[in-house]
Structure 1
């Protein structure tokens, strides 16, 4: 006998019942999908071994059933007819925990999904096609942040991957697809030129470019951050290494192009310790470059690293290797540890700089989605940009649910901010809090954005 029933749907006289177990905490995999025939009064087991079978619905033509699994966070399709009859397959891996699922008059499906942990949960509704494509996303409840403004880049360029503010609070500054670092001067002026990372770039060749083949020549600045004591802006160029430029801007100076004799291949994230001036930065891979991002994500590469640059000695030290696409990095307010995001491992690692655990690392947080940049706020908490996949990867750009997670020093989720207002189902790369506002960046968008409470 079923212990609980979450949904009952009728189609042509047969009831298909999704049984779910009280299984979230135990990781129970004994859920079943069953069919009850009122005419024969027989119950037939269709699927077993489900991770918390919850909602169930039948396709408009009666050829398949969908059943949600709230323990494994997925939706399964069981075929009733056709060549695949009596077999099942993964239909969708939603960005959170799925619950009930309903079909509409057009033959599409609505599924309730809850994203988050503890009390920091964002309820969503996803409208899906019969092929498992996300057609619409709706966030419910009182959302903590709403879209205030988009900071549009100059015509044709894209990819404000990371943002920085100077000591006066001016900016944001950001690197873009054609190799320039731009400074936002307010809505009346917009973005203006501040610096470039490549001494070989020309305006004729590079300005306005979105061509990945030109990035090694034109430059591609990614992570960046100011040293507030000197006014210098440090940045990593994906191809050209660790760079710095003075407060007046201009052509950046290369500080390092290799570590321990091994040339950098794909630098990604950066943070500056305002206490001692140390610069922490990451290399995503020693095998792939930024223009190979899709191949990198599919490769299971684990050649990423975390580095520290000492401006006094001008030396680069390897702190941590063997990382699965190391991207974002952030040092704690007290300088005791640094966090680094591993994109393809869906986790954040903590490397201890001081204390009894100095020079060791540990998993800080496991995530459902892929983390990107990490930024610390004035209270010493961390904002991490998360992209939860909506189904399997689909080049050239996968569909995702973009979120900002605010984390405590000990890895607790304090807040979940869905960022679909500006980005819909496109990826974000950074979430940064300033004066009660969230500044959001994206490697694929033509703008940065501001969210307000």
Structure 2
């Protein structure tokens, strides 16, 4: 009888656990509240093609950490045509300017900005994620680029689209919020050529930035890439059906641009001039999830890798049905995400030639100093690294 009772108890416990997992009554699952959520297979490269190169010296641990808790989520780093800066967009919707001594407000993107909602949070526990619920009101500037001729700053705001502010700063003005009648839902990065044409990315037509984790888990491919012509004020769709297009950077000679495919872990080259104009090709398979990409003075490309690709995440990308079963489990979103990136934040930056050759890799494989990186800007022999999650800017001396 005791044996039967134990077996019955185990059976009842198993049924209750199964019921709990199926119903998720406390909505712990990352896809709770997303009834139309669908999973898609990610167009992954073969595992053998994923670079295994390592920075055995963990060079990024030698970085200097600046402005701790003075900047929350400095996604993009920019310097104006006079070399002043850095300028950076932060989580509360402002674009800040470092004058060499202190930070000052330079610009903001939301015409509906409310000081009550958008002012920097004084709490010691505040982080870049503390502002997510008000981003659609306060704005969230991501990619930043200066026009070297006019001094205008172009802004990819996740919610307000492609924007511009003059050299004196202030409220940014809207350039475009849609293309072909489809709204920009997640404007991510921008670059400008010598003629003033703008090239930019929109990561998804379904998910906004505040739901970027659901976008990652979904693997959907509704991202687009564009050209905006200031003379005609027309926005042309150059790229369609991309799985999470992220950073974008023109080549040094302007003959092509490079953009990152965050879900796939690739760099692609889109030709603007020559016989291949209007076509794209794979430039490089990356060691992990890329964010922004920036060209340096030699014409090489620095790519920020948010996290290396691990076996668990690779298999999740290849097998969407398995992924959906796992996502339905009442496992908190943060835990699911950390499993995807290998359990903790570890920053990697890589440099590629215009032909796609891996030239340099720098990392902090233990996440001790530079935990995460969203962008790498090379200036005067130093790498300035921002992160959409961290409360600081890291600087690494290349010399």
User: TM-score band, normalised by the shorter chain?
Assistant: 0.7 to 0.9
Q: CA deviation at 1:417?
A: 1.2
Q: Say which SS state the counterpart of residue 152 (structure 1) adopts.
A: coil
Q: CA deviation at 1:442?
A: 0.5
Describe the shift of the 1:152–1:262 C-alpha distance in structure 2 as closer, same or farther (beyond 3 A).
same
Deviation at 1:401, TM superposition (A): 2.8
Q: Mapping of 1:221-370 within 5 angstroms?
A: 221-273=141-193, 275-370=194-289
Partner of 2:10 in structure 1? none
Q: CA RMSD in A?
A: 2.2
Q: Check conservation: 1:146, 1:421, Cα contact below 8 A.
A: no
Q: Is the 8 A contact 2:61 2:369 kept in 1?
A: no
Q: Is the 8 A contact 1:389 1:401 kept in 2?
A: no
Q: Equivalent residues in 2 for 1:86-105 (5 A)?
A: 97=52
Which of 106, 112, 116 is 1:194 aligned to? 106
CA contact (8 A) 2:202 2:223 kept: yes
Q: 1:173 to 1:450 in 2, by over 3 A?
A: same
Structure 1 runs of 4+ with >6 Å offset: none
Query: Equivalent residue for 1:16?
Result: none
In the superposition, the TM-score normalised over structure 2's length comes to: 0.75
Q: Residues 268-325 of structure 1: CA distance to partner in whole angstroms, max 9, x if unpaired?
A: 111112x222111100100101110111101011111111111222211111111110
Counterparts of 1:66-215 in structure 2, within 5 Å, are 97=52, 116=53, 121-123=54-56, 139=57, 143=59, 146-154=62-70, 158-186=72-100, 188-189=101-102, 191-208=103-120, 210-215=130-135
Match of 1:24 in 2: none
Deviates more, 1:297-306 or 1:400-409: 400-409
1:233-269 deviation digits (Å, cap 9, x = unpaired):
0001101111000000000001101011111101111
Number of aligned residue pairs: give it. 318
Does the 8 A contact of 2:291 with 2:304 survive in 1? yes
Q: Is the 8 A contact 1:147 1:422 kept in 2?
A: no
SS across alignment from 2:97: strand
* Post-superposition offset of 1:151: 2.8
- The answer as to whether partners of 1:201 and 1:218 remain within 8 angstroms in 2 is yes
Distance of aligned partners of 1:260 and 1:160 in 2 relative to their CA distance in 1, 3 Å threshold: same
Q: Distance in 2 between matches of 1:423 and 1:207?
A: 30
Q: 3-state SS of the aligned residue for 1:443?
A: coil
Instruction: Give 2:291's aligned residue.
Output: 372
Segments of structure 2 that go 5 or more residues without pairing to the other structure are 1-45, 122-129, 314-331, 339-343
Q: Which moved more, 1:389-398 or 1:200-209?
A: 389-398
Q: Which has the higher contact order (CA 8 A, sep 6+)?
A: 2
**Which protein has the bigger strand share?**
1
When residues 238 and 312 of structure 1 are mapped into structure 2, their CA distance, relative to the original with a 3 A threshold, is same
Aligned equivalents of 1:434 and 1:406: distance in 2? 14
More helix by share: 2
Say if 1:145 and 1:417, in contact at 8 Å, map to a contact too.
Answer: no
In the alignment, the residues of structure 1 paired with residue 68 and residue 242 of structure 2 have an alpha-carbon distance, to the nearest angstrom, of 34
Instruction: State the partner residue of 1:220.
Output: 140
Quick one: structure 1 residues 382 and 245, their matched pair in 2 at CA, closer, same or farther if it must change by over 3 Å?
A: same
Tell me which residue corresponds to 2:359: 414
CA distance in 2, matches of 1:195, 1:317: 27
Q: How does the TM-score come out when normalised to structure 1?
A: 0.66
| Aligned equivalent of 1:59 | none
Which of structures 1 and 2 has the bigger CA Rg? 1
1:88-125 per-position Cα deviation (integer Å, ceiling 9, x unaligned): xxxxxxx974xxxxxxxxxxxxxxxxxx2xxxx422xx
- Partners of 1:248 and 1:423 in 2: how far apart? 38
Quickly say closer, same or farther: Cα 1:272–1:152, change in 2 above 3 A.
farther
Structure 2: distance between partners of 1:266 and 1:362: 24
Q: C-alpha separation between the residues in 2 aligned to 1:401 and 1:362?
A: 29
Distance 1:205 1:305, change over 3 A: same
**Distance verdict in 2 for CA 1:419–1:184, change over 3 Å:** farther
- The whole-number CA distance in structure 2 between the counterparts of 1:325 and 1:96 is 20
User: CA offsets, 1:44-67, max 9 Å, x none?
Assistant: xxxxxxxxxxxxxxxxxxxxxxxx
- Equivalent positions of 1:6-25 (< 5 A) are none
